[in-house]
Structure 1
Amino acid sequence: MTIENTAASEGLGRKILARTAWPVLLILCICTTAYGFAIDRPVIVFNLTYLALAVALYLLERNMPFEKTWLENDGQTFANIAHTLTSKGLVQGLVTFSGVIGITAYITPMQGEGYGIWPRDWPLAIQVIMTLVAAEFGLYWAHRISHEWKPLWKFHAIHHSVTRLWIVNTGRFHFIDSLLSIVLGISIPLALGAPLEAITWLSAITAYIGMLTHCNVDMRFGLLSMVFNTPGLHRWHHSKKIVEGNRNYGENLMVWDMIFGTWINPDRRPPARIGITEEMPTSFPAQLVWPFKEIKELDQEGWTTLINEENTKPKV
């Protein structure tokens, strides 16, 4: 085989991989999670699957990055990991502790037969899809309010302060920000009577799509971006321009962005220079207390929305 043929073959292989990597990886994650449920080991299998997804995306980021400049060290790897552990660990611990002191007294009746309007006799796959759509409504508004109301933006700005997107800053959220999203996200399907198994599936799929959304891998999405929150859409969400950054709020699905007119997918390359306009401390402890200091200093105008003219739709 000639050098030209080898290069052409590699180019074709890369194009195929770019178009198939996102859906194939998500489908594989869903299949292994289903296997975990089937053998009654969902937590163990989920953790192994999540780790395998991280490794696969890390290798893809190194070999076919979307933005090569995002491969450069930004000095925030420790802070990214620390925020991930703090937000996930502390929030999960709080939820567990809350269950011990009585929250389960409210959740348990929701799991009983006859509660709510949830069709529990429907196939689980359909119930999971319904749970995703219902939870997405709460996740959408939690995310949107965190952009448009300054006090909550100060917490959410921790996530947007990154200057590169890659798998390690997937979980870079202030724990207050995470708590708001979790509460608003799961409360709706729970109130409707969704079973805990469907809620568990929601958590797993959200984790998988979250990492896929933030990866720095050169992929093509096509019609997938009309349904799912893909990296292609989320890169616009991290733009410094408010007219671009205050769009694409969906966590997993884009249904509510479509309904409320906040979905965008311009036919051009998203900005490589991302981040926020505020000055963010570089250390993890300073970032934890930064929102509280900022809120304290907000004047009367600061308690209004972040934007005054953002409701004007961008020209795309």
Structure 2
Amino acid sequence: MKTFNTRITTIVSWTAYPAVITLGLVLHQLLLNTPYPSKIMTYVPVILGAAIITFLESYFPYRKEWTPQISDVGNDLTFMVFIQIVLPKLLSFLFASTLLSYLKAKGIILKGFWAHQFPAFVQVIIMLLLADLLRYWLHRLSHEWGPLWSLHAVHHSPHKLYWVNVGRFHPLDKGLQFLFDALPFIIVGVSEKVLSIYFVFYALNGFFQHCNINLKLGFLNYLISGPELHRWHHSILIRESNKNYGNNLIVWDLLFGTWLLPKERAVDGLGLKNRKYPLDFASQIRTPFIKGLDKLEG
């Protein structure tokens, strides 16, 4: 029985990521051909992926001690709803719609700046590369410049990783991310189909980045910013957490020398040096404006 369980764990470790990502993208394409609203259908593969990842975390954990408490999940779900769902919709309305209306009124057309002539999957790859390049430098600056770090520290505050805390961001930090990896592509007229494919991959890959599943990505660790790499980014040590900035892809880290994946050891502690940093939603909205709560040197 032990040998059988070991084999199942090995199979899950190597196949779960590509299987769920592929399932999500294929299901999304099938749902786009139904008469139902495409925006709603985009969430179906994301929700299904979240359910599968939740199941896998329960039965194939990377570390059992990373299993969240009910209070942890409650705070993370609050972040997920308000920061990852409500806030982007609000920002799209306030910034994207307003800016597009202004540009239209001025007769400024920017659609020629995008590769509309290519197939959707090629456009998604282009968007992934460009969006990740912009996010790479925002993310890196958010670690290296104090004022931005005070916002981004909220995301690094958890002491364990599991998929639900992928959404733990301060609203100002999330707003900056929107300006870098969403707004530019909306302005140049990237189609709703391309944006939705990007969103499905963005969401599912983000869930996996933070998941507490014993996964092995092999050669994909030189292409995708997955969980094996992202755990080091959440290390309590600055020399380790200032690595692997990639949002979806890891290619820019390879190019700019910030890729890290030690083979001889596993990541140790996670989070901030200041273990008194508050973890509840209400307090973390205020923490960026309180001095002395950021990560210490290590």
TM-score computed with the length of structure 1 as normaliser: 0.84
Amino acid at match of 1:246: N
* Matching of residue 50 in structure 1 with residue 13 in structure 2: no
What does 1:171-186 align with in structure 2 at a 5 Å threshold? 171-186=167-182
Aligned equivalents of 2:48 and 2:18: distance in 1?
15
Offset at residue 186 of structure 1 (A): 2.4
The residue aligned with 1:25 is 20
The residue aligned with 1:91 is 88
**Contact 2:68 2:162 (8 Å CA) reproduced:** no
Of 221, 228, 233, the residue aligned with 1:232 is 228
Offset at residue 264 of structure 1 (A): 1.1
Offset at residue 99 of structure 1 (A): 4.5
Per-residue CA shift, 1:77-119, capped at 9, x if unaligned? 222111222212123213213355x22225769xx98833433
Of 4, 7, 11, the residue aligned with 1:12 is 7
Amino acid at match of 1:8: T
Aligned equivalents of 1:30 and 1:232: distance in 2?
22
Offset at residue 266 of structure 1 (A): 1.0
The residue aligned with 1:197 is 193
Amino acid at match of 1:143: H
* Matching of residue 291 in structure 1 with residue 283 in structure 2: no
Of 155, 161, 168, the residue aligned with 2:164 is 168
The residue aligned with 2:256 is 260
Per-residue CA shift, 1:126-172, capped at 9, x if unaligned? 11111111111111112111111111111111110001101111111
**Contact 1:137 1:185 (8 Å CA) reproduced:** no
Amino acid at match of 2:210: H
Aligned equivalents of 2:186 and 2:126: distance in 1?
12
The residue aligned with 2:114 is 118
Of 148, 157, 162, the residue aligned with 2:144 is 148
Aligned equivalents of 2:33 and 2:211: distance in 1?
29
Does 231-240 or 73-82 show the bigger shift? Answer: 73-82
The residue aligned with 1:282 is 279
**Contact 1:237 1:245 (8 Å CA) reproduced:** yes
* Matching of residue 67 in structure 1 with residue 60 in structure 2: no
Of 119, 126, 143, the residue aligned with 1:130 is 126
Offset at residue 212 of structure 1 (A): 1.1
The residue aligned with 1:3 is none
Amino acid at match of 1:87: I
Could you tell me which runs of 5 or more consecutive residues in structure 1 were left unpaired when the two chains were aligned.
1-5, 311-316
SS of corresponding position for 2:182: helix
Offset at residue 190 of structure 1 (A): 4.7
Aligned residues: 293
Does 67-76 or 238-247 show the bigger shift? Answer: 67-76
Measured on the aligned residues, the alpha-carbon RMSD in Å equals 2.6
Aligned equivalents of 1:72 and 1:285: distance in 2?
19
Q: Percent identity?
A: 30
**Contact 1:83 1:175 (8 Å CA) reproduced:** no
Relative to structure 1, the CA distance from residue 55 to residue 107 in structure 2 (aligned partners, 3 Å threshold; closer, same or farther) is farther
**Contact 2:96 2:183 (8 Å CA) reproduced:** no
Relative to structure 1, the CA distance from residue 73 to residue 273 in structure 2 (aligned partners, 3 Å threshold; closer, same or farther) is farther
Aligned equivalents of 1:127 and 1:171: distance in 2?
26
Aligned equivalents of 2:31 and 2:142: distance in 1?
34
Offset at residue 15 of structure 1 (A): 1.0
Relative to structure 1, the CA distance from residue 283 to residue 116 in structure 2 (aligned partners, 3 Å threshold; closer, same or farther) is same
Amino acid at match of 1:44: I
**Contact 2:154 2:168 (8 Å CA) reproduced:** yes
